[in-house]
Homo-oligomer: A and B are copies of this chain.
Amino acid sequence: MDKPARTGRVTIRTVAADAGVSVAAVSKVLRNAYGVSDNLREKVLQSIEKLGYRPSTAARGMRGRTFSVGVLLVGMDNPFLPPLVDGFKHAMGKAGYKTLIGVGEARTHVETALIESMIDMRIDGLLLIGPRISGEALNKYADQVPIAVIGHHEAGATGFDTANTNDFEGGRLATRALIDKGYRDIAMLCLTDNRRKEGEVWYEREKGYRAALAEAGLKKSARSFRITERPDDMQAELLSLLARPDLPEAFFCWSDIHGVPLINLARRKGLNIPGDLGLISFDNTAAAALPLIELASVDQTPGRLGATAADQLLTRIKGRTTPRHDLIAPELITRPSF
């Protein structure tokens, strides 16, 4: 006895009735499962088209796949993110998955709330970009849903995957370029961070910086300065850095987030770049390439990073359980700032 929906909504039942088949048949067509004749499939597809039917993700979430994945961002104002998210979206889209985004505001409890919220919607996978939470806490979520992490090195993690630029290599690359240009007193700008520095991208870059100095016999000259990420205080800290009597000959800067304002302030202070001060930064964002900026910067190929994470998620969804920790080679984009 067919119990037709009383609402106007087109459901799988409406389609089944219209096509004169069972709901199971429609479901099978939807998921291209085995055991459907071309004839039946054709009828169903026509009804779907005719009725404008779209399966309810909510209902799907109660049994199987939702064919949607989530991305968690720390904030929206990092210019490094758009190409990364695009690369990810594109790769997931080709596999038939929708991408939804949540913004964690760099606050741990907002971040966990968002992760849980996405899990509660039964998304099929989750990409975390530069998450505050990590390690132990992530494993807890990782057995509820496949997880990939970008922007945090955790090569020992077993429950989830990571995709990162080889930040160590990037730091080494940039520092070596400065050394090759003749600079000897090279300092590094890092991020002030109250979290454990182990695994942080800037810390990996710092290790690369120190390695390059050591290789050139300049180990003793290594100096790191820590600058805040908060826009309000950043400028003051950079200015007081530039006012130091022991200003180095060159800076390797962990990110364009600091690098672009730094080159701006230095020039405005009357310093010639690269005459008085050499500068290489990291991320190669659009701002670094601007006419009046022209800041050399290490490129992370963010699109590839995103696509790599997408592949990790897709293969996890298909059943892989052995962890993957992919490292992508960075490239120095040379500009006349050093």
Interface residues of A (CB under 8 A from B): 54-62, 66, 68, 70, 75-77, 79, 81-82, 85-86, 89, 98-103, 105, 113-114, 116-118, 120-122, 231, 235, 261, 264-265, 267-268, 286-287, 290-292
Give the residues in chain B near A81, CB-CB below 8 Å. Answer: 76
* Copies of this chain, count: 2
Nearest first, the 6 closest Cβ-Cβ pairs linking A and B are: A58-B61, A101-B101, A76-B82, A57-B120, A57-B121, A58-B122
Complex CA distance for A36 and B290, rounded to whole angstroms: 63
Prevailing SS type, chain A contact patch: helix
Give the residues in chain B near A118, CB-CB below 8 Å. Answer: 100
Closest residue on chain B to residue A58 by CB atoms:
B61
Q: A98-B114, A99-B103, A264-B290 are in contact. List 17 more A-B contacts (CB 8 A).
A: A54-B116, A57-B58, A57-B120, A57-B122, A59-B61, A61-B61, A68-B117, A75-B82, A76-B81, A77-B286, A86-B103, A89-B103, A99-B102, A100-B102, A100-B117, A101-B102, A261-B291
Closest residue on chain B to residue A100 by CB atoms:
B100
Complex CA distance for A79 and B231, rounded to whole angstroms: 14
Q: A117 and B291 in contact (CB under 8 A), knowing A102-B101, A286-B231?
A: no
Query: Counting chain B CB atoms within 10 Å of each CB, which of A86, A89, A103, A286 scores highest?
Result: A103
Give the residues in chain B near A89, CB-CB below 8 Å. Answer: 103, 105
Closest residue on chain B to residue A71 by CB atoms:
B101
Give the residues in chain B near A86, CB-CB below 8 Å. Answer: 103, 105
Sampled A-B contacts (18; CB under 8 Å): A56-B61, A56-B120, A57-B122, A58-B61, A58-B120, A62-B62, A66-B121, A75-B82, A86-B103, A98-B102, A98-B113, A99-B103, A100-B102, A101-B102, A231-B286, A261-B290, A264-B291, A287-B287
Give the residues in chain B near A101, CB-CB below 8 Å. Answer: 100-103
Complex CA distance for A150 and B192, rounded to whole angstroms: 36
Give the residues in chain B near A56, CB-CB below 8 Å. Answer: 61-62, 120, 122
Q: Is the CB of B292 within 8 A of A120?
A: no
Complex CA distance for A98 and B74, rounded to whole angstroms: 16
Shortest Cβ distance from residue A30 to the other chain B in the assembled complex, whole angstroms: 13
Query: Counting chain B CB atoms within 10 Å of each CB, which of A76, A79, A102 scores highest?
Result: A76
Give the residues in chain B near A54, CB-CB below 8 Å. Answer: 116, 120
Shortest Cβ distance from residue A272 to the other chain B in the assembled complex, whole angstroms: 15
Select A117's contact among B85, B98, B231, beta carbons within 8 Å.
B98
Q: Is the CB of A55 within 8 A of B120?
A: yes
Give the residues in chain B near A287, CB-CB below 8 Å. Answer: 287
Closest residue on chain B to residue A67 by CB atoms:
B117
